[in-house]
Structure 1
Amino acid sequence: MECSSSSNVPGGKKKRQNEAPSAEEDVKRRKTEEEGDEDLQRRPCGSAKVSVPLDRLQQPITAAQLMELLHFAALGKSRGVKQPSWCRLHHQRKVSRINVAIVDGVTQSLFYNHYLSMEHLRSSYTTRITFTPSSDDVASDIFSLEVPKVDFLSLAAPEEAFHEALKDHPVITTYGTQRRGLTAYLLSQQQMIKNHYPVKGLPGFEDFLCTGSDVSVTDDSPLYGLDCEMCQTTKGNELARVSLVDGDGNCLLDELVKPQNHVINYLTRFSGITAAMLRPVTTTLRDVQAKIRTLLPEDAVLVGHSLNNDLKALKLIHPHVIDTALLYRKEHGQKFKLKVLAEAVLKRQIQTEDQRGHNPTEDAVAALDLARYFIGTGPLQVVELHLEELWGWSLEESPSYTPEPTPSYRFADILQSLSRPVAFLGKRANVDLDLSHQRWYGSDKEMLSSFRNQTGHLFLSVLRFSSLSDHLKRSYVHRHHQQQLYHNVSAVFRDMCTVFSGPFPANFSKREVRRLFGCCGPVRKVQMWNTGVRIHAKVEFQMLEGAMLASEVLNGLSVSGQTIKVQRPVKESMLDLDLNLDALMSDRVNANQLYVSRLTQDVAEGRNVSVTVNGRLSDGKPSGFHPGRQTNGPLQTAKVNGTQLHPGTTAPDLSEESLREAFSPFGSIKSVTLPGIHARHARIEFESSDGKRAALGSSEDLLKNGYPTWPSMTPPHLHSWVGMATSRKTQDEEEDAADEQRPDSFNCSGIQRNQEVSLLNKLDRRLSRVFSSLPDGTLSVVLLLGHNSRGFDHPGLCLLEVKNGF
């Protein structure tokens, strides 16, 4: 299959004039680059922009490396911050704002699976680089990661100063003054025993079910809120309702439960449970135990208020718990009611008089938010902010007490000290930022509407889009979906890089096929097929350009009397090949770049073209290859400058010097990237697309000099994505297995796929509206988070652009 637009195919069968192209031809050739070029032509001189070396684009970046860029963009050299290690931000002082759009659950595989649908993302961002899978705390990291050694805060941060009277406060004596991760607030086994928690091995808990969570937890472990309501039976208090919420406050479980024994008091005033509500219920304690075990990951941390009572009612043992009744502790062991804490700390009314009993889901969310607030704010600030309304203390200022300012290196704190507003917008999240700078929304649509009304006032804004991730979690087993999607997209890309060729002479080997096709680009794999009559080969290139050149340069070549055909696979996955190739050629990340390979001497002579070798023209006499012409005997050899060249051997390797000499007449060259010492292909990046267009317009002349050319198509970062899967079989084994098992279309129902396409289109439009609302000079970052599942990492994608009047 060939690209549908013949005017965009260099070295094709259509004869080109040697003179300068006509205006009409020039317009046609511009179509493949115009999207990626107009912005560069309109870009004001000296405006801010991000550039990444081509070889560095082939390595993924981490959240910490992204923060290097954000810190430099916001503060620059004048504040002592260095350029990022992996890219350059030019004219940093012209960056007026920073916007980061975080998209949950979207992997690089999903992006490329729906590449044609993502019109804004693929056309508005000139830099695209693989982002390694990370935790859900990226938003928090953006605000909280420290900026290294900023000049205006060069003094080491002293111990936090606090009033002398607070040193005996029960919260301070228990947790100290420093802000720490969630593991600092987990109850130890001794504390659990002291506070009457069910503990494995203790008498009285023999028939309790363990959740199976024996792994250690970290500060990145997920939090889950839990609350139960009980009824009084002949055997004491028994479970009547249970609610479990995840870290975003989403309700995962809300079930009425049939008590095992006769109910003597429904405790309706507190529980909200009535006899009529429980009469049709058949769910048992064992049922909800099994559901909770299924819902909780191994490193889950349960949060609740007096959680020991809930676990006893559930007859569950769970080793990782945070109890908000103990976090916000009083003197002498007294505890605050959850209602009091919610009102004082969260400014939220729960368990109101107009409600009939407590709502366990509402209580579970309140406990979860109280824990996250305590962890994010730190014990000292919690005490200072709520000292009088919660603990009834008042501090008398003494003349000798002068609190020293505590310099902070946290990114958000530094920006706010410079009067640069920051904000997080999205679903409820564990973001290490003061609550007054967080705005939570129930949907992406609400968040976008709010953001567009205030974008001009924010210096650093972080938006979190969650709708698509929520859909994927509901529609599929997310881990299985991502792994299958990765294999599917990788296989489709391999199909796009593959050509079928033949027939070859009977004695033609796999090695000779590899050498023959290597003149078009690096060959990844060759498979030989012997039908008993003729020999054919399946040749898979590492890059799309190799396959495109092979179908143009080698198709019709005569190999020892056998005229070979070179053609693309014909299968369902290739139905949109021409559309995908056109989109990739017009991709802004490839706007000014040209792919160049080096013809082998014998292929060049077989095409009857002269080849410049060591500064001299070869005579172009046939030596064994002729398009459409029969020759007898095995492949012949040729001599170049006295050196014998065997079939498939090359003229001298490409070099930066020779490429600059050959291509600089077409325009100023920004960079030449060679993949190794003995390179046979290269990428040339021109300063503008005029140079690229001029080179493509002279592709026939360049081919005569041994330089097949093609517009760059393979995304420069792609190699970092393809090689990132972990804990896998050898690559060939895995790919062969994937080819055998993979259907030509993705294995999900048409309804599910249509929903996915619709949601991705909607997401792309919303991101486009975010971009359009940004002021000029804004560094725009779109972060597709990727997905991390046990034993397999699915990388994401980071897209970067400084908006400058387009």
Structure 2
Amino acid sequence: KACLSTLLLAANCEVTHGQLCELLKYAVLGKSSIPKPSWCQLLHQNHLSNVVVFILKGMSQLHFYRFYLEFGFLRKAFRHKFCLPPPSSNFLSDIIGLQNEKTDGDSPRTIEGTLLSATLKASTNPQNDPIVQKYGYEQVGVTRCLLTKEEMERFHFPLQGSPSCEDFILTKCNGSVTDSSPLFGLDCEMCLTSKGRELTRVSLVTDGGHCVMDELVKPDDKILDYLTCFSGITKKILNPVTTKLKDVQKLLRELLPPEAVLVGHSLDQDLRALKMIHPHVIDTSLLYIGKQARRFKLQFLAKVILGKDIQCSNKLGHDAIEDARTALELAQYFLKHGPQKVSIFGLASDPLELALCVLECLDSLGQKLLFLTQDTDELSSLGNCQTIKCPSNKEVLEQARVEVPLFPFSVVQFSFEPFMPEFTEEMKRRMRTKWTEMSTVYAGPFSKNYNLRMVKKMFKSFGPVQSITVILETHRPHLRIQYEILEAAQLAIETMNDIQVEGLCIKVRRPVTEFTLDSDTLVNELEQDSENQGTIYLAGVSETFKTHLLQQSNLFHGLEAMILPKDVKSRKQKNYCFLKFKTFDNAQRALEILTGKDWELKGRHALTLRHFQAWLRDLPPEPARLMGLQVTPPLLENKMVFWINTLKVNHPKMIAWRWSRRIEKLYHSLNPGTLCLILLPGTKNAFGSHPGLGLMKIKDEEESNTPSMGM
């Protein structure tokens, strides 16, 4: 099955919009055409069934953490979480790779225009060109351009004896092919039926471009989608047709001489639609191969190589005769001018690779992107995008349930009103305060002549300490210990509470404030966060810990990653770490070993999300200054109470809870094997910008029958 790596490769956990686009392009085309994403690993991409991107426009990372308990499904289901930078002016265009620049005229740059410009400007060393590497510099003949049997097997051409081709018809080709053998251009159009893609039109042209066959074909099975935007075929056109597949098979056998060479673009799909086997073919998508075996679409090659426009947007679908003739002309150009002339077009250059966008990737596969939104149609002016505009988020949700399973790639955008800047700033202040108080413990009472150094050392053994304060306002001394991370505070509470210290039974607990009243619930939910499943926290590790651990790695099955934090200023390794394992059981077993007498470490299951810790460091330690004045908490509280009373059910806490449940139901309706991304793009207001958050996972096969979790 397709799967994602356990650990994101981004060092600071922030993924740029360009890197996100890398992943989406790779998810569509795979490693044969697109470089692997630089920040994560997507394995077995060809087993993905769909890609779905949910955008919660108007929400940021701050909203997710402030209402963490309300986003129950998202935090429990999505193991892979990452930071996004603050939103750009056009978030959607950035993540699918569209260029917003304009050409010298004032019209927006099209996808094809961007690609063509990048290609024509490209300079490439002919020796590194894959076409030159395969065919050399000299002119080649027809037989040299034919696909070998091994290549036909690799690219899934129908072959005699293949298990999936038992009912396929053979042409009359007897194998006597020479460099003077006649070339025939072939192109087919298909529709979607209850049994998959089936033939609706076939066109055949001769060496001079003359059309010798152009037939419409009626499938035997029920048609679900005529794919009119690609095929040009409609119900009205096909209704009177009586020609069947067996009729065109017979006609093709009669028209093709024994020495015929078929030429087409992605010809394997055409032959499979025809259910025919022909051993001598030239496939222009493989003849004009790009860097990393990238295959270009016919429209692009026609423009770059032949200087002609085909498949124009003002036409209804593709013209099969035109496509067959274009493929034939491309093969003839290659035979006439040779590989060296073709290499000057720079098809193997990096600029072209960078210019590719998600829409172009889909178009090269004959597929469309679905975009559901209630906002302005950001993609409606572009081809290859089916935009459905809805009057409300609820309508977007209902349409998504129906439409998303039918498209290989979908973007579903929900839009939320931005929160008041004052409320956003108050949320930031409260998050900082809450996390500080959750990571703080009070310990005592101690005897009046207690050994302060010994007690400090005892509490520092649980993890990094920011400050230790002696409290003398009580009858007996107490200590206030503020830890850097939550795990250390929780470990201190679980280990030290109700133990004897110098003859006195001490209590170790958090301060009781409005921010810590739900601390037990929050700690329990953080432990169950999918990102923390299989991760343990260890305190007291030395600089040699990594070496020691690896030397005895046979004791720790399923160890996938070791995170050794460093001090920001000194860059020295801190005295704690996180270990990620494949399963919870692997982690539990390792925890028992590492906290045993041989290792003498302290530890527990992890609570802190890796990206959260990085985000938390950037929060302002003091309340933000609004409009040049220091707003006091009571004044701001009054504003919030008024605002909340006005909105009532639209309080952000309710919105978070409601939409987490709705997205959960939508997620369970997705096909198994779907790559699903939830993106909170981030927000901007008068007082600054707020970074976004991304969550992703691949829906597993076994989840398809899993009931929805109650919240």
TM-score category (smaller protein): 0.5 to 0.7
AA of the residue aligned to 2:699: K
Note if contact 1:591-1:689 (Cα within 8 Å) is conserved in structure 2. yes
Q: How much does 1:71 deviate?
A: 1.7
Alpha-carbon separation, structure 1, partners of 2:374 and 2:527: 37
Alpha-carbon separation, structure 1, partners of 2:632 and 2:537: 28
* Aligned counterpart for 1:415 among listed residues 331, 346, 362: 362
Alpha-carbon separation, structure 1, partners of 2:29 and 2:550: 37
Q: How much does 1:421 deviate?
A: 1.5
Q: How much does 1:48 deviate?
A: 2.2
Partner of 1:795: 691
Q: Structure 1 residues 575, 747: closer, same or farther in 2, change over 3 A?
A: farther
Alpha-carbon separation, structure 2, partners of 1:723 and 1:664: 36
Whether 1:434 aligns to 2:324 is: no
Note if contact 2:370-2:404 (Cα within 8 Å) is conserved in structure 1. no
* Aligned counterpart for 2:423 among listed residues 463, 481, 486: 481
Structure 1 unmatched runs, 5+ = 1-45, 148-158, 161-171, 181-380, 388-401, 599-650
Alpha-carbon separation, structure 2, partners of 1:589 and 1:785: 20
AA of the residue aligned to 1:778: T
Partner of 2:96: 143
Alpha-carbon separation, structure 1, partners of 2:447 and 2:391: 66
* Aligned counterpart for 1:451 among listed residues 379, 400, 406: 400
Q: Structure 1 residues 581, 754: closer, same or farther in 2, change over 3 A?
A: farther
1:392-791 to structure 2, matched below 5 A, reads 409-429=356-376, 431-434=378-381, 437-466=386-415, 469-470=416-417, 473=418, 478-503=420-445, 515-531=457-473, 534-555=476-497, 564-598=506-540, 652-653=542-543, 655-660=545-550, 665=555, 667-676=557-566, 678-695=573-590, 702=596, 705-725=599-619, 747-748=640-641, 751=645, 752=647, 755-756=650-651, 757-791=653-687
Q: How much does 1:695 deviate?
A: 4.1
Partner of 2:21: 67
Secondary structure, counterpart of 1:702 in structure 2:
coil
Secondary structure, counterpart of 1:779 in structure 2:
strand
Alpha-carbon separation, structure 2, partners of 1:480 and 1:75: 45
Secondary structure, counterpart of 1:117 in structure 2:
coil
The Cα offsets for residues 414-463 of structure 1, whole Å up to 9 and x where unpaired, read as 31132122021111235245366211111111112112212222122111
AA of the residue aligned to 2:429: H
Alpha-carbon separation, structure 2, partners of 1:136 and 1:73: 25
Q: Structure 1 residues 662, 565: closer, same or farther in 2, change over 3 A?
A: farther
Q: How much does 1:533 deviate?
A: 5.7
Alpha-carbon separation, structure 2, partners of 1:738 and 1:702: 51
Note if contact 1:483-1:794 (Cα within 8 Å) is conserved in structure 2. no
Structure 2 unmatched runs, 5+ = 112-308, 316-328, 334-344, 567-571, 704-711
AA of the residue aligned to 2:641: C
Alpha-carbon separation, structure 2, partners of 1:667 and 1:746: 54
Q: How much does 1:489 deviate?
A: 1.9
Note if contact 2:676-2:696 (Cα within 8 Å) is conserved in structure 1. yes
Secondary structure, counterpart of 1:134 in structure 2:
coil
The Cα offsets for residues 535-573 of structure 1, whole Å up to 9 and x where unpaired, read as 433222222210111113333566666664321121222
Alpha-carbon separation, structure 2, partners of 1:521 and 1:716: 16
Alpha-carbon separation, structure 2, partners of 1:710 and 1:739: 39
Alpha-carbon separation, structure 2, partners of 1:495 and 1:729: 13
Secondary structure, counterpart of 2:490 in structure 1:
helix
* Aligned counterpart for 2:4 among listed residues 21, 31, 49: 49
Note if contact 2:24-2:358 (Cα within 8 Å) is conserved in structure 1. no
Partner of 2:273: none
AA of the residue aligned to 1:671: A
Note if contact 2:677-2:695 (Cα within 8 Å) is conserved in structure 1. yes
TM-score if structure 2 supplies the norm length? 0.57
AA of the residue aligned to 1:689: F
Q: How much does 1:589 deviate?
A: 0.5
Partner of 1:97: 50
1:92-241 to structure 2, matched below 5 A, reads 92-135=45-88, 137-145=90-98, 175=106, 178=109
Q: How much does 1:143 deviate?
A: 3.4
Q: How much does 1:534 deviate?
A: 4.5
Q: Structure 1 residues 740, 518: closer, same or farther in 2, change over 3 A?
A: farther
Secondary structure, counterpart of 2:601 in structure 1:
coil
Note if contact 1:573-1:744 (Cα within 8 Å) is conserved in structure 2. no
Q: Structure 1 residues 136, 760: closer, same or farther in 2, change over 3 A?
A: farther
Partner of 1:88: 41
The Cα offsets for residues 365-390 of structure 1, whole Å up to 9 and x where unpaired, read as xxxxxxxxxxxxxxxx9xx9899xxx
Alpha-carbon separation, structure 1, partners of 2:471 and 2:632: 16
Note if contact 1:58-1:718 (Cα within 8 Å) is conserved in structure 2. no
* Aligned length in residues: 456
The Cα offsets for residues 241-273 of structure 1, whole Å up to 9 and x where unpaired, read as xxxxxxxxxxxxxxxxxxxxxxxxxxxxxxxxx
Q: How much does 1:413 deviate?
A: 2.5
Q: How much does 1:482 deviate?
A: 1.2
Percent of residue pairs bearing the same amino acid type: 25
Alpha-carbon separation, structure 2, partners of 1:660 and 1:121: 34
Note if contact 1:60-1:130 (Cα within 8 Å) is conserved in structure 2. yes
Note if contact 2:2-2:46 (Cα within 8 Å) is conserved in structure 1. no
Note if contact 1:133-1:786 (Cα within 8 Å) is conserved in structure 2. yes
AA of the residue aligned to 1:455: V
Note if contact 1:572-1:744 (Cα within 8 Å) is conserved in structure 2. no
TM-score if structure 1 supplies the norm length? 0.50
Q: Which moved more, 1:678-687 or 1:118-127?
A: 678-687
Alpha-carbon separation, structure 2, partners of 1:655 and 1:413: 49
Secondary structure, counterpart of 1:61 in structure 2:
coil
Alpha-carbon separation, structure 1, partners of 2:12 and 2:473: 39
Alpha-carbon separation, structure 2, partners of 1:557 and 1:65: 51
What is the CA RMSD across the aligned residues, in angstroms?
A: 4.1
Q: Structure 1 residues 115, 178: closer, same or farther in 2, change over 3 A?
A: closer
AA of the residue aligned to 2:370: A
Alpha-carbon separation, structure 1, partners of 2:624 and 2:466: 10
Q: Structure 1 residues 105, 672: closer, same or farther in 2, change over 3 A?
A: same
